[in-house]
Amino acid sequence: MEKIIIRDEFIKLGQALKLAGLVDSGVEAKIQIGEGLVKVNGEIEYQRGKKIRPDDVIEYDGHKIRVEN
């Protein structure tokens, strides 16, 4: 499982996808999330602004990313 490190209390889902290098832009993140292709902690997430906190796991396109601080 890959990981990303955040310095703040949370990061928004769209930003986390960009930080992990899974999407190239916010627009691409919005599209992928809106189409139901992204899971957070095992459940499909449709909110690009969803607050992602340490220990959350994002799944997208065969990748699993754990958020750490």
- pTM for the whole thing? 0.93
DSSP result, 1-54:
-EEEE-SSS-EEHHHHHHHTTS-SSHHHHHHHHHTT-EEETTEE---TTPEE-T
Strand order from edge to edge, sheet including 38-40: 2-5, 63-68, 57-60, 38-40, 43-44
Nearest to 38 by CA among 68, 56, 67, 59: 59
Question: What confidence score (pLDDT) does residue 36 get?
Answer: 97
Q: pLDDT-based confidence at 19, cuts 50/70/90?
A: very high
pLDDT at residue 3, rounded to an integer: 95
pLDDT digits (tens, 9 = 90+) for 29-63: 999 999 999 999 999 999 999 999 999 999 999 99
